[in-house]
Amino acid sequence: MPNRILLSGNEAIAEGALEAGAHFACAYPGTPSTEILETLSRRGGIRSEWAPNEKVAYEAAYGASLGGARALVSMKHVGVNVAADPLFSSSYAGVNGGLVLVSADDPAMHSSQNEQDNRQLARAAKIPVLEPSDSQEAKDFTLRAFGISERFDTPVMLRVTTRICHSMSPVETERDRSWPKAPLRDYERNFHKHVLLPANARPRHAFVERRMEELEEFATGERDLNRIEWGDRTVGVITGGVAYQYVREAMPDASILKLGMPHPLPRDLVREFADGVDEIYVVEELDPFIEMQVRALGIPAIGKELFPLTGELNPDLVELGFRLSGNGLPSRDNQLDIGGTAPSLPMRPPVLCAGCGHRGVFYTLSKLGLIVTGDIGCYTLGALRPLESMDACLCMGASIGMAHGMEVALRAGGDGRRVVGVIGDSTFMHSGITGLINTVYNGGSSTVLVLDNGTTAMTGHQDHPGTGVTASGAPGGRVDITALCRAIGIRRVRDVDPYDLEALESALAEELSADEPSVIICRAACRLVDRTPIAPSVHLEIECPGCGTCFELGCPAIDERDGMAVIDPDVCCGCGLCVQVCPFCGLRIEGYDTAGAV
């Protein structure tokens, strides 16, 4: 008897991988993809691993596939850039066990630095794409993706977006939800297929082109993936992903071609649909991926003229687009009267937590007026007011390479300002280490601060090689950041307590004056992981004179009332930074001397 349960898209993908009997799953955490591997490691019964980065994750999954296992690898959209090298080549080499790459795209950039459309990457890599439009399809399509991968000897991209990953909807599944493993396929050496020497790769490219043709033919016939829902024949809409749901609400009577497999495009099916309706609209998030291909068939499709190219779609934008086309539902200009032009409200952006070990570092960098290349993580919040101590933030691991290059350029121009790179522990493991090797090798002299909070904090506290705990919670090998830095040739490596502002400042001064690369490691456990108070909460010893110095820390435990500081004892955890910066010594912690350790 079927069982209806409420699952997020990510949980449903994990469910699909279990139902497909996958043996191996790996990932590097990244919003909105993280919960796929978390769910698998929690459910058990499948080997689940965090890899140090997406390239390694993809390579490990590919290796498992070659070895005969069904393997799933998941990452956020920009992670696929990191994994692009093995991805593109594995398209030629093909698979053994089914290989599914989940690309979790983030239209609207809720938690990302760009909103690239990874259907484009799949097309460039010449692999098929499945795109579910709710949790049920997320599970079903994951299952289908393994089968397609094995049948057509190709990695398959399951492309999802934030509104699929992090939305919940009912999923029908077996009552006991435990499935047998898929039988392991035999592994046999295949030199011509798996060793991509030029002489082998050339015929493999021809194979890839034939494969895409066969996949297109397949996609046309698979009506559970690509289907026509005939309705009113005056308007035909081609859509997929979550946009399909918005179209169903905005245009309940229209004919719809729903593409669950947008690449390769089933051109015959598109022609059949276009022949059956008066006008063709394409509603898709981000790039006109389907639209351009439909137009290339000589079909005059309307798309990005009406539906935005940037950001994510929603029911209102889709409704508005169709209304502008003259086909939509009448406007519901029925709004609550909230008092004319509502007065502006204070913003509530995310902030570094009270007691966060990163705060003192950014306060000091800001005070010293250094040029700071930043990286991806919670500590990117150090770029925001009031700390405002970051000049650039690009992608995972970039802080260290950028610091080196900027330093070279500034010196060449006779600019004496110094550059420091700031990177978290998980990001350092991901791709910071190669940047640091570059600095050593090329005789750079930049200073790198590793902010080590012992976890991958921003994505919800996943372990990594520096923590020595694996995805399943079991003890694993542990990489020692200090020893690693020394091993690659950094002579100046030191630990500094990030809660000691004086020590931070003097360590920075010393390292910046040295004419060689250096690493300062600031260790403080993430406050969301270790919530035990550092010291009793701060209290005001004297009446606050209202100088405002402590506000420059941007601490959520310090509230401003009429220009004076008010400490919230429930939020304060006694990190003591405000005690150190208060010029009137009006802030006190019991048992805490002025500046320095508790």
Partner 1 sequence: MTNEGIPTRNVLLAGVGGHGVLALSRIVAEGALAAGFDVRKSEIHGMSQRGGSVVSEVRYGEDVRSPLIPEAAADVFVSLELLEALRHLHRLRPGGLLLVNDQRITPAPTGSGPVDYPEDAVERLREAAQGARILPAHDIAVELGEPRATNMVMLGAFAAFTPEIAATVWTQMIETTFRPTLRAVNLAAFQRGLEIAAEA
Binding site for partner 1 (CB under 8 A): 4-6, 31-32, 110-111, 134, 162-163, 166-170, 242, 245-246, 248-249, 314-316, 319, 332, 334-339, 342-353, 378, 381, 384-386, 458, 460, 528, 551, 554-556, 558-560
- Provide the minimum distance between the beta carbon of 203 and partner 1 in the complex, in angstroms, as a whole number: 45
Closer CB to partner 1, residue 314 or residue 438?
314
Closer CB to partner 1, residue 540 or residue 598?
540
Task: Write the CB contacts of 192 (distance below 8 Å, at least 6 apart in sequence).
Answer: 200, 203
- Provide the minimum distance between the beta carbon of 394 and partner 1 in the complex, in angstroms, as a whole number: 18
Alpha carbon of residue 267 to chain centroid: 33
Closer CB to partner 1, residue 334 or residue 513?
334
- Provide the minimum distance between the beta carbon of 569 and partner 1 in the complex, in angstroms, as a whole number: 13
Closer CB to partner 1, residue 275 or residue 570?
570
Please report the beta strands in 18-161, taking only residues with DSSP state E, as ranges in sequence order. Answer: 24-27, 47-50, 71-76, 99-105, 129-130, 156-161
Quote the CA–CA distance of 493 and 289 in Å, as a whole number: 49
- Provide the minimum distance between the beta carbon of 233 and partner 1 in the complex, in angstroms, as a whole number: 21
- Provide the minimum distance between the beta carbon of 6 and partner 1 in the complex, in angstroms, as a whole number: 5
Closer CB to partner 1, residue 396 or residue 484?
396
Closer CB to partner 1, residue 346 or residue 477?
346
**Residue matched to tokens 């029908």:** 172
Closer CB to partner 1, residue 305 or residue 316?
316
User: Residue by residue, what is the 3-state secondary structure of 268-324?
Assistant: HHHHHHHHHCCEEEEECCCCCHHHHHHHHCCCCCECCCCCCCCCCCCHHHHHHHHHH
- Provide the minimum distance between the beta carbon of 361 and partner 1 in the complex, in angstroms, as a whole number: 17
Give exposure, 136-152, as e/b (b: 16+ Cβ within 10 Å).
bbbbbbbbbbbebbbeb
- Provide the minimum distance between the beta carbon of 301 and partner 1 in the complex, in angstroms, as a whole number: 23
Phi, psi of 282 (to 5 degrees): -120, 125
- Provide the minimum distance between the beta carbon of 176 and partner 1 in the complex, in angstroms, as a whole number: 18
- Provide the minimum distance between the beta carbon of 550 and partner 1 in the complex, in angstroms, as a whole number: 10
Distances (CA, A) of 348 to 2, 290, 344: 44, 38, 12
Pairing of strands 254-259, 232-239: parallel
Phi, psi of 87 (to 5 degrees): -60, -50
Closer CB to partner 1, residue 93 or residue 317?
317
**21: exposed, middle or buried (Cβ count in 10 Å: 0-12, 13-18, 19+):** buried
Closer CB to partner 1, residue 59 or residue 134?
134
- Provide the minimum distance between the beta carbon of 257 and partner 1 in the complex, in angstroms, as a whole number: 17
Quote the CA–CA distance of 156 and 225 in Å, as a whole number: 14
Helix axes of 9-19 and 35-43: crossing angle, nearest 10 degrees: 50
Quote the CA–CA distance of 8 and 254 in Å, as a whole number: 28
Cβ atoms within 10 Å, residue 161 = 30
Closer CB to partner 1, residue 208 or residue 381?
381
Closer CB to partner 1, residue 13 or residue 493?
13
- Say which amino acid occupies 280: I
Pairing of strands 539-540, 587-588: antiparallel
Quote the CA–CA distance of 436 and 279 in Å, as a whole number: 57
Quote the CA–CA distance of 589 and 576 in Å, as a whole number: 7
- Provide the minimum distance between the beta carbon of 553 and partner 1 in the complex, in angstroms, as a whole number: 10
- Provide the minimum distance between the beta carbon of 376 and partner 1 in the complex, in angstroms, as a whole number: 12
Judge whether 419 and 369 are in contact, CB under 8 Å: no
Closer CB to partner 1, residue 170 or residue 221?
170
Return the SS3 of 174.
Answer: coil
Distances (CA, A) of 301 to 227, 231, 245, 248, 304: 18, 18, 20, 19, 10
